[in-house]
């Protein structure tokens, strides 16, 4: 199986030993505590689950700037984005060397992790601006990722963490949330050698399904991991339980047995386009995938990124930093000429009118009216689940 990044075995930051876990939970109640941001909570969950291996905790400003500017930390290791715990103030911390980090996304704000405080630093406006522009490619506050990153505060608290909970993900999505450790174990149990991962924050229509089949066939993969984002999305995105049900139905009906896993991970979408695509590849290698599908405008939002920027950025990744291979995909759609789904770049004799293309707005309007999109766009079983959701609003 493909090795994790930076170590021979995964080193998840979650405390699995029950006795130690109990001791730390008791200790946490005696420690100064801070309520962290949703983005920081997602980062803690990803470290706990082994996805950010070998990262041990939240970055100091030097490492965060290195990640933003050249995807390299001060020790020379590779990481594509800053992973920070930013606060508006540290009054509750004082000079404490150990603190409890409380979860903003669960009622009662339970302890999510314990941190050994190594540094407390004020991030300058210039540093925030540099990180924002490097990671998001814009400083436009209308960009949801830019807004979220810059709303957390400017005091960076850094140091290694011990994670004690997986936030709401394990409770709300018990059948779908999986750690990188669990996915690696299941890949091994299934006997898969070549595994391609597919990222989604939306239900999968026919074009997505066929893209996965194409990737598996062309790469000679024996397994597909559909890995959906379970964290916070932007307004208008379909809730995770609905997405989950639609994707599971598609796999059940249209994929052979033991060829596809439906899983999810706990993280807030950054909408950082190219830089987020590299992060997605990073943690897919850690979960055991050998290949990763990167499509047109991967992880983007609005018109901030070029259609294939999320593919060309891999040319900037330092040599040897990633072993996972990228399957570079174009937009897929049903060809009226060929009577099947194709990658649009592979049909050079086609015009736009030769494809069945529906805007997201049009699809939502149809579903809301109880009308299924054409079978060339969406499987009827999937459409029914989405119609039920939209008509319940």
Which residues have a catalytic role annotated? 201-202
Record the tokens describing residue 166, joined without a space: 């997986």
Cα separation of 271 and 300, whole Å? 5
Cβ atoms of 166 and 219 closer than 8 Å: no
Q: Report the SS3 class of residue 13.
A: coil
Cα separation of 142 and 47, whole Å? 29
Cα separation of 283 and 49, whole Å? 10
Record the tokens describing residue 88, joined without a space: 């508006």
Cα separation of 178 and 285, whole Å? 15
CA-closest candidate to residue 273, choices 69, 380, 137, 76 = 137
Cα separation of 173 and 178, whole Å? 9
Phi-psi region of 287 (alpha: psi -120 to 50; beta: other; left: phi over 0): alpha
Q: At 26, give phi and psi (nearest 5°).
A: -65, -45
Cα separation of 351 and 347, whole Å? 9
Cβ atoms of 250 and 382 closer than 8 Å: yes
Cα separation of 84 and 52, whole Å? 13
Residues 6+ apart with CB under 8 A from 389: 238, 239, 242, 367
The torsion of the CA quartet 312, 7, 288, 266, rounded to 10 degrees, works out to -80
Cα separation of 92 and 157, whole Å? 12
Cβ atoms of 119 and 155 closer than 8 Å: no
């Amino acid at each position: 199986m493909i090795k994790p990044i930076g170590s021979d075995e995964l080193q998840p930051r979650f405390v699995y030993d029950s006795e130690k876990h109990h001791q730390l939970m008791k200790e946490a109640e005696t420690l100064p505590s801070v309520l962290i941001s949703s983005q920081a909570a997602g980062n803690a969950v990803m470290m706990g689950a082994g996805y950010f291996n070998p990262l041990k905790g939240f970055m100091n400003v030097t490492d965060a700037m290195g990640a933003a500017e050249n995807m390299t930390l001060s020790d020379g290791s590779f990481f594509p984005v800053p992973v920070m715990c930013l606060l508006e103030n540290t009054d509750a911390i004082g000079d404490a060397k150990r603190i409890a980090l409380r979860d903003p996304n669960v009622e009662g704000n339970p302890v999510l992790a314990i941190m050994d405080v190594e540094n407390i630093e004020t991030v300058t406006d210039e540093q925030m601006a540099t990180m924002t522009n490097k990671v998001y490619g814009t400083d436009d506050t209308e960009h949801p990722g830019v807004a979220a990153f810059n709303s957390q505060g400017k005091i960076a608290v850094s140091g290694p963490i011990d994670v004690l909970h997986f936030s709401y993900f394990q409770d709300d999505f018990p059948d779908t949330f999986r750690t990188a450790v669990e996915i690696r174990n299941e890949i091994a149990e299934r006997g898969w050698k070549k595994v391609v991962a597919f990222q989604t924050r939306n239900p999968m229509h026919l074009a997505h399904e066929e893209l996965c089949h194409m990737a598996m066939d062309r790469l000679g993969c024996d397994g597909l991991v559909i890995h959906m984002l379970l964290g916070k999305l932007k307004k208008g995105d379909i809730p995770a339980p609905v997405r989950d049900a639609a994707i599971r139905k598609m796999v059940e009906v249209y994929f052979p047995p033991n060829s596809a896993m439906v899983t999810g991970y706990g993280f807030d979408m950054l909408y950082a386009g190219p830089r987020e695509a590299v992060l997605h590849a990073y943690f897919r290698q850690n979960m055991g995938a050998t290949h990763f599908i990167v499509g047109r405008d991967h992880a983007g939002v609005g018109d901030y990124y070029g259609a294939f920027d999320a593919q060309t950025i891999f040319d900037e990744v330092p040599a040897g930093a990633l072993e996972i291979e990228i399957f570079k995909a174009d937009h897929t759609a049903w060809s009226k000429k060929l009577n099947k789904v194709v990658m649009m770049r592979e049909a050079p004799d086609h015009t736009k009118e030769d494809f069945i293309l529906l805007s997201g707005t049009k699809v939502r309007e149809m579903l809301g009216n109880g009308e299924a999109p054409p079978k060339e766009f969406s499987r009827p079983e999937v459409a029914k689940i989405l119609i039920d959701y939209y008509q319940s609003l």
